[in-house]
Amino acid sequence: MPRPGLTIAAGELAERFGLILQGDATRQVDGVGTLAGAGPTQLSFLSNPRYRSQLADSAAGVVVVRAADAEGVSRDLLIAGDPYVAFARIAALFEPARPIEAGVHPSAVVHPDADVHPDASIGPHVSIGARSRISAGAVLGPGCVVGEDCEIGAASTLVARVTLVRRVRLGQRVLVHPGAVLGADGFGLALDRGGDEPHWIKVPQLGGVRVGDDCEIGANTTIDRGAIEDTVLEHDVRLDNQIQIAHNVRVGAHTAMAGCVAVAGSTTIGRYCMIGGAAGIAGHLEICDRVMVTAMTLVTHSIREPGEYSSGTPLMDSRSWRRNAVRFKQLDALARRLRLPTKGNE
Amino acid sequence: MPRPGLTIAAGELAERFGLILQGDATRQVDGVGTLAGAGPTQLSFLSNPRYRSQLADSAAGVVVVRAADAEGVSRDLLIAGDPYVAFARIAALFEPARPIEAGVHPSAVVHPDADVHPDASIGPHVSIGARSRISAGAVLGPGCVVGEDCEIGAASTLVARVTLVRRVRLGQRVLVHPGAVLGADGFGLALDRGGDEPHWIKVPQLGGVRVGDDCEIGANTTIDRGAIEDTVLEHDVRLDNQIQIAHNVRVGAHTAMAGCVAVAGSTTIGRYCMIGGAAGIAGHLEICDRVMVTAMTLVTHSIREPGEYSSGTPLMDSRSWRRNAVRFKQLDALARRLRLPTKGNE
Amino acid sequence: MPRPGLTIAAGELAERFGLILQGDATRQVDGVGTLAGAGPTQLSFLSNPRYRSQLADSAAGVVVVRAADAEGVSRDLLIAGDPYVAFARIAALFEPARPIEAGVHPSAVVHPDADVHPDASIGPHVSIGARSRISAGAVLGPGCVVGEDCEIGAASTLVARVTLVRRVRLGQRVLVHPGAVLGADGFGLALDRGGDEPHWIKVPQLGGVRVGDDCEIGANTTIDRGAIEDTVLEHDVRLDNQIQIAHNVRVGAHTAMAGCVAVAGSTTIGRYCMIGGAAGIAGHLEICDRVMVTAMTLVTHSIREPGEYSSGTPLMDSRSWRRNAVRFKQLDALARRLRLPTKGNE
Tens-place pLDDT, residues B147-205: 999 999 999 999 999 999 999 999 999 999 999 999 999 999 999 998 889 999 999 99
Select from A88, A124, A312 the Cβ nearest to the Cβ of C311: A312
Whether residues A242 and B242 touch (CB distance < 8 A) is answered with yes
Give the relative orientation of helices B83-93 and B10-17 as an angle to the nearest 10 degrees.
Answer: 110
Contacts of C325 in chain A (CB under 8 A): 331
Based on the fold, state whether residues C67 and C141 are members of the same structural domain.
no
Rounded to the nearest integer, the mean pLDDT of chain B is 95
State residue C90's pLDDT score. 96
Q: In terms of domains, do C44 and C162 share one?
A: no
List the domain range (segments joined by +) for residue A193: 103-309
What is the arithmetic mean of pLDDT over B60-71? 95
- CATH classification of the domain holding B239: 2.160.10.10
Predicted confidence at residue A346, as pLDDT, reads 45
Judge whether A291 lies within some domain. Answer: yes
Could you tell me the CATH number of the domain that includes residue B48?
3.40.1390.10
Please answer yes or no on whether B331 and A324 come within 8 Å at the CB atom. yes
Candidates B280, B308, B329; nearest CB to C318: B308
Answer yes or no: is C237 within a domain: yes
Q: What is the number of domains present in chain A? A: 2
- CB proximity C313 to B under 8 Å: yes
Where does the pLDDT of residue A97 fall: very low under 50, low under 70, confident under 90, or very high at 90 and above? confident
Q: What percent of chain A has pLDDT over 70?
A: 98
Same domain membership, residue B287 and residue B175? yes
pLDDT beyond 90 at A254: yes
Domain boundary among C62, C93, C124: C93
For residue B176, CA distances in Å to B73, B92, B150, B155, C53 come to 42, 19, 14, 12, 39
Q: Is there a single domain that holds both residue A144 and residue A191?
A: yes
Q: What is the pLDDT of residue B2?
A: 44
Does residue A251 sit in the same domain as residue A225?
yes
Interchain CB distance below 8 Å, A284 and B48: yes
C49 shares its domain with C145: no
Parallel/antiparallel/unpaired status of strands A316-317 and C307-310: antiparallel
User: Buried b / exposed e across C240-261, counting CB within 10 Å, b at 16+?
Assistant: bbbbbbbbbbbbbbbbbbbbbb
Q: What is the mean pLDDT of chain A?
A: 95
Q: Check whether residue A128 and residue A30 sit in a common domain.
A: no
Q: Which chains touch C (3 or more CB pairs under 8 A)?
A: A, B
A181 φ/ψ angles, rounded to the nearest 5 degrees? -125, 115
Residues A212 and A264 in one domain: yes
C206 and C72 inside one domain:
no
| Chain B neighbors of C143, CB-CB under 8 A | 125, 127, 143, 145, 161, 163
Is residue A2 predicted with pLDDT exceeding 70? no
Distances in Å between the Cα of C288 and the Cα atoms of A116, C223, C245, C306 are 52, 21, 17, 7
pTM confidence score:
0.96
Nearest CA in chain C to B143: C143
A282 vs B contacts (CB less than 8 Å): 277, 295
Contact assessment for residue B219 and residue B179, using Cβ atoms and an 8 Å cutoff: yes
Per annotation, catalytic residue among C177, C247, C254, C284 = C247
Look up residue C307 and give its amino acid.
G
B to C CB pairs, distance under 8 Å: 249
For residue C34, give Cα distances in angstroms to B69, B227, C48, C117.
55, 9, 12, 41
Contacting A residues, span 137-166, partner chain B, CB-CB under 8 Å: 143, 145, 147-148, 161, 163, 165
Residues B194 and B89 both lie in one domain: no
What does the pLDDT profile of chain C (346 residues) look like in tens digits?
445 678 999 999 999 999 999 999 999 999 999 999 999 999 999 998 888 899 999 999 999 999 999 998 999 999 999 999 999 999 999 988 777 899 999 999 999 999 999 999 999 999 999 999 999 999 999 999 999 999 999 999 999 999 999 999 999 999 999 999 999 999 999 999 988 899 999 999 999 999 999 999 999 999 999 999 999 999 999 999 999 999 999 999 999 999 999 999 999 999 999 999 999 999 999 999 999 999 999 999 999 999 999 999 999 999 999 999 999 999 999 999 998 887 654 4
Torsion C321-C322-C324-C328 (CA) sign: positive
pLDDT at residue A100, as a whole number: 84
- Asked which of A5-9, A214-218, B110-114 is least confident by mean pLDDT, the reply is A5-9
> Do both A86 and A119 map to the same domain?
no
Give domain status of residue C339, yes or no.
no
Last residue of a domain, one of B93, B117, B133: B93
Residues of A in contact with C161 (CB under 8 A): 143, 161
Coil/strand/helix, residue B344: coil
Whether the per-residue pLDDT at B108 is higher than 70: the answer is yes
Q: Is residue A264 part of a domain?
A: yes
Looking at the structure, do residues C129 and C267 belong to the same domain, yes or no? yes
E strand residue ranges, A27-122: 28-29, 31-32, 42-45, 62-65, 77-79, 103-104, 109-110, 115-116, 121-122
Q: Does a structural domain hold residue A55?
A: yes
What is the pLDDT, as a whole number, of residue C340? Answer: 87
- Interface test with chain C among A220, A236, A300, by most C beta carbons within 10 Å: A220
The whole-angstrom separation of Cα A242 and Cα A237 is 15
Within a domain: A51: yes
Q: Which of A93, A121, A140 finishes a domain? A: A93
Judged by CB atoms closer than 8 Å, whether chains meet at A260 and C264 is answered as no
Encode pLDDT of A39-85 as tens digits. Answer: 999 999 999 888 889 999 999 999 999 999 999 899 999 999 999 99
Q: Is residue B259 part of a domain?
A: yes
pLDDT > 80? residue A216: yes
> Which of A125, A220, A315 lies nearest to residue C298, judging by beta carbons?
A315
Question: Is position B150 within any domain?
Answer: no
3-state helix, strand, coil in chain A (%, to 5): 15, 30, 55
How far is C-alpha A281 from the chain's CA centre? 16
State residue C49's pLDDT score: 85
Q: Mark yes or no for CB contact A295/C282 under 8 Å.
A: yes
Flag whether pLDDT at B344 surpasses 80: no
For position B1, what pLDDT does the model report? 43
